[in-house]
Amino acid sequence: MNSKKLLLTLLLSAILPSICWAQAVERVEPPSWWVGMKSPTLQLLVHGEQIAALSPKLTRNYPGVSLQGFTRLGNPNYLVLDLLITAKARAGSLPLQFSAPGKPTLKLDYLLQARTPGAALAQGFGPKDAIYLLVPDRFAKAVPQAKDSSLDGEDRANSNARHGGNIEGLRQHLDYIADLGFTQLWPTPLVENKGAHSYHGYAATDFYRIDPRFGSNSDYQQLVREAKARGIGMIQDIVLNHIGDKHWWMADLPANDWLNQGPAYSETHHARATLQDPHAAPSDRKRFSEGWFVPGMPDLNQRNPVLANYLTQMSIWWVEYAGLSGIRADTYSYSDKAFLATWSQRLMQEYPRLNIVGEEWSPHPAFVAYWQRGRQNHDGYVSHMPSMMDFPLHGALLAGLGESDGHDSGLTKLYEALAHDFLYPAPNNLVLFEGNHDTPRLFTALKQDPALYKMALVYLASVNRIPQFYYGDELMLQSPLQRDDGAVRPDFPGGWAGDTVNAFTGDGLSEPQREAQAFTRKLFNWRKTAEVVHSGRLMQYAPENGCYVFFRYGEKQRLMVVLNKSAQPVRLDTRRFAEMLTPQSSGIEVLTGTHQALGRELSVPARSALLLELAPEAVALPK
């Protein structure tokens, strides 16, 4: 190297460090916020090359807003800003700058928005609602996939690949969902998921961005608005426990303790009982909460206060940004317990009427009840979750209809599952599902028996729970009995151009499918106005002779529900139901419109379900 080149190299090496500091603010999260929130604090995660070498400040006075302080993380490419936004603050552009002597100054205009009127008290979903769950990638495609070399493409022949369903396809078929009688929509996660086999959405790579293969953030907002116009609320599926290994953090981790990672890879053993077991080994508890789901899903450490606050603000951001009626929290109990208590409390403080439902995949009512708000737990743990997925009753429903009846099997299991309602602070706010994206299809689980299928739907629509229905089960779609995620999440017939069967129009459906679709439509449209199902109490009678009977009742309405699994017609002696019926009682069967006298005897057809709205009469109802 000659002397001139050597001199130039030395000069550049001396200059470059001073000009490479924080060339830009690459990302700020949350990307925006609102004035008038219940909590006045806001924490911003700012990312940019070597930005920790700079100090932030407000460049001018902004009434009602002050920068309380900032924190440097383990990675010099991050700064955490703590803002106080008081009731005096107004919407506008918050002027921030980052500077240090001898370094370029960076400027950032941060958007503070006005809240939608009534956002804080918006009504969440509840017992009056019925939820339609779908997998967006498999529901309907209306526009070409976004072109992005970092995103895997479509392959409908591969059950574990992207099939191309998107927000526009879903938006175009909102009328179909509304026509079926459903009032809430739960899509599996729509946020960005890069990487193979990520069509399901449970491995986020960007918490604040709708996956471009589904559409844009504004497309999602439009979907929510149009759903609301049809009487449908939106429930967003949020994952707090883990991210995908292609998440943008993984290339530049804010701090080493943002992930649960020991000296060697450790996978969770899924022993959720360890969290309530008074005899559990501490190492087992630790492995359950801190072990990874799979190698491609890094486990988040919510004991880190900055990360915990990040996840909380992210959840609030989506509720406010999109106008949600609820959140479904995936793999709920796998996250840190203390964090979950704070997270649920913060959301309910900000949105007192919001509903949040957590996934605790356990067959034991005590384990599920542990997480519901108002439960007095043996270890003093206080949760603020309004709702949980009712896995115990789901299992009892399949067993009750699918097993032979005995003193501890079949319908007895269904009866005894409801007998455990004393464990729940609010059993009517639990979400009962006939199936979901992780379970075999209902029709398959019930041995492809149309009679049992109809009984399951009648139970789902009339018991004291919030019903959740899985897309395609109105067509009696099937799947393997063993776990096969791709097969249980098929393309919805008619969602793709060129489909020979179209469930939206009815073209190509078999006659049993048409009948099942019509049955679902009639049942859930009836439920929309059945106030006794929304708020009435429940009284059940022990099963006898293959028949199970329960009543929903209030001061003005009564409903009698009969499930007859027997292969023979049954003549029920209705004098057994004296608490609910008199010799003069009568009713109208909801699904057929036929009148039934209920004074002494009721004839129930073989393998059938009856929904009887009872005529008004003077009955001394139990208090």
Instruction: Please state at what angle helix 450-462 crosses helix 511-528, rounded to 10 degrees.
Output: 10
Distance CA 376, CA 378 (A): 7
Could you confirm whether 613 is annotated as catalytic?
A: no
Closest CA to 583 of 601, 603, 599, 596: 599
Residue 292 forms beta bridges with which residues?
267
Unique residue bearing structure tokens 């009721």: 602
Core vs surface per residue 590-610: b (16+ CB within 10 A) or e: bbeeeebebeeebebeebbbb
Closest CA to 351 of 125, 535, 189, 128: 125
Could you confirm whether 484 is annotated as catalytic?
A: no
- What's the token pair of residue 255? 């701090």
Percent helix, percent strand, percent coil in the chain, to nearest 5: 30, 25, 45
Distance CA 430, CA 160 (A): 31
SS3 71: strand
- What's the token pair of residue 544? 């006898």
Q: Per-residue DSSP letters for 266-315?
A: -B----GGGGT-TT--HHHHHHHHHSBSSTTSPBB-TTSHHHHHHHHHHH
Given the residues 129, 320, 359, 434, the one annotated as active site: 359
Given the residues 219, 330, 360, 421, the one annotated as active site: 330
Q: Would you tell me how many other CB atoms lie within 10 Å of the CB of residue 510?
A: 11
Instruction: Please state at what angle helix 305-322 crosses helix 337-350, rounded to 10 degrees.
Output: 30
SS3 586: strand
Helices (H), 139-183: 167-172, 174-179
Distance CA 550, CA 592 (A): 19
- What's the token pair of residue 202? 């449970």
Would you say 193 and 204 are in contact if contact means Cβ atoms under 8 Å apart? Answer: yes
How many degrees, rounded to 5, is the angle at CA 138 between CA 132 and CA 141?
A: 105
Distance CA 241, CA 334 (A): 6
- In order of 328, 384, 395, 421, the CA distances from 369 in angstroms are 16, 12, 16, 9
- In order of 106, 273, 367, 555, the CA distances from 280 in angstroms are 52, 8, 14, 47
Query: What residues act catalytically?
Result: 330, 359
